[in-house]
Amino acid sequence: TPDLTSLISVVETPEGEHVKFRARIHHIRPLGSKIVFLIFRSQLTTLQGVLTEEEGMVSQNMVRWAEGLNRESIVLVEGMVQKPGDGQEEVHSTRVHNHEVKVEKLFVVTSPSSTLPFQVEDAARPEEYYRREGSHFPRINQKTRLANRALDLRSPVNQAIFRIRSGVCTLFREYLLAHRFLEIQSSKFQESGTESGAAVFKVDYFRRPAFLAQSPQLAKQMCIAADMERVFEIGPVFRAENSNTHRHLTEFTGLDLEMQFDHHYHEVLDMLDGMLKHIFRGLQERFKDEACALHIEAVKTQFPHDDLVILDETPRIRFADGIKMLREDGYKDDDGDEPSEFEDLTTNAERRLGQLVKEKYGADYYILDKFPLEVRPFYTMPDPEDGKLSNSFDIFLRGEEILSGGQRIHVASMLEERMRMADVEPDQAKDYVNGFRWGCPPHGGGGIGLERIVMLFLKLGDIRYSSLLPRDPRSFAR
């Protein structure tokens, strides 16, 4: 038997050729009693098949049988590629194809054994179909979709999201390997908290307490103290924060890096900036089909290619100047207060500043440097010229934070002092502190939330859509 063709190549097969492929039945549409249209689906691709009694192609019984098949069945199809009849162009597709398959043979490989909670087609169907049919757009709500994720993930929209998510990791890794970084995997069980000690999950570790890592922060810095020079990690991050927002998860994937530098922490910032641009440009160039699926299908996003403005020179704004921009604009917090240059930005202030930066520079991606020391974790290097400030930054995409980073304290005595001020007992993180006691080069780094970058790049509106099985404070509640 010849090898099966993938549905995506069937779409590109010349008219008149025979093909054999495997696909799901996405939709079934009878036309009179003699013809039935089957829409086949595989990942991003959908394609129309036609079974017709005319021309003696298949029997009347077969047309009847095909009409009654279960949607989401996996079928093996043999047929001939042809042009669709007038007015029958393929509107179900992620791209509008000028091809259809005249079905000659059809075998059911597997069919669903229980009722589907919804049709994949309804979770992700092109709006133009509804416009044409004159019916409303029956979006399945998020709760139903997430409660039936194995089915929901089949939709072309989700296939596209998760390919793009994987693409972010590939591009991140690709850039860093090309810049002499070493990939590490650090342990997620910790003796103490990582960032501040507050938002950690405690676990029962053979009747002793242990904690899930809030970030690979300590481990990646230990690698620098251990002369690895440049390291990165793609791994899970756990946060026991009761934040029920569109952008917080209790478990997310961190893209982290740490490197030593020669003269200035802006060498680290340059590396992060170069890496993020490589990711955005790579997504725009390599994921056109995925963007197309998202564009036509249910998630109402514009083509991320068209509207994301990344300047060659990323705007670098000092935190205090950002606050100034907000004040000059008359921005006030919910409680009526003016934003302060010594407090962190609220989500609303972040968004407003994103708009102001967009108006002033035309950019959707920018850097805010020199955060107040007070709002940063204990390991952050104070600004040697102004003790109230720090050598640290956040990076924003479409007005929301995607990355935090900065220079770290590499001098043991200073680090221990800052730890005590933050109520972290240095001896509780002895492995970490020892690295500095034994001498460590100047270094810095940053961490990105993978789900955030995907959510903001694709304008998904909720971080849960970019997580395979999202965990938030409400997870596991019965």
Active site residues: 239, 241, 247-248, 401, 404, 452
Residue type, 87: G
Contact 319, 350 (CB under 8 A): no
Nearest distance from residue 404's CB to ligand ATP, in Å?
5
Quick one: which of 449, 458, 466, 470 contacts ligand AMO (CB under 6 A)? 449
Through-space distance between the first and last CA atoms of the chain, rounded to whole angstroms = 50
Reduced to 3 states, what is the DSSP secondary structure of residue 477?
Answer: coil
One symbol per residue from 163 to 202: x for binding ligand AMO (CB under 6 A), - otherwise; what is it? --------------------------------x-------
Contact 383, 389 (CB under 8 A): yes
Nearest distance from residue 232's CB to ligand ATP, in Å?
19
- Of 71, 29, 64, whose CA–CA distance to 50 is shortest? 29
Among the listed ranges 88-96, 157-165, 185-193, 245-253, the one in contact with ligand AMO (CB under 6 A) is 245-253
- Supply 326's token pair: 């907000």
Residue type, 227: D
Residue 5 is classified by DSSP as B
Contact 269, 314 (CB under 8 A): no
| Contacted entry of ligand ATP, ligand AMO, none for residue 403, CB cut-off 5 to 8 Å set by kind | ligand AMO
Largest CA distance in the chain: 88
Strands across the sheet containing 182-183: 182-183, 230-238, 251-260, 443-449, 400-407, 392-397, 365-369, 316-318
Distance between CA atoms of 345 and 321, rounded to whole angstroms?
Answer: 13
Distance between CA atoms of 155 and 62, rounded to whole angstroms?
Answer: 28
Q: Which is nearer to ligand ATP, 291 or 345 (CB)?
A: 345
Number of residues that bind ligand ATP (CB under 6 A): 8
Q: Which is nearer to ligand ATP, 404 or 466 (CB)?
A: 404
Q: Is 346 in the site for ligand ATP (CB under 6 A)?
A: yes
Among the listed ranges 38-46, 108-116, 144-152, 445-453, the one in contact with ligand AMO (CB under 6 A) is 445-453
Residue type, 378: F
Q: Which is nearer to ligand AMO, 304 or 470 (CB)?
A: 470
Nearest distance from residue 248's CB to ligand AMO, in Å?
4
Quick one: which of 229, 344, 462, 472 contacts ligand ATP (CB under 6 A)? 344
| Contacted entry of ligand AMO, ligand ATP, none for residue 446, CB cut-off 5 to 8 Å set by kind | ligand AMO
Q: What are phi and psi of 182, to 5 degrees?
A: -110, 135
Structural element, H or E, at residue 464:
none
Nearest distance from residue 187's CB to ligand AMO, in Å?
16
Residues that bind ligand ATP (CB under 6 A): 243, 245, 247, 344, 346-347, 401, 404
Residues that bind ligand AMO (CB under 6 A): 195, 215, 217, 239, 241, 248-249, 252, 256, 401-405, 445-449, 451-452, 463
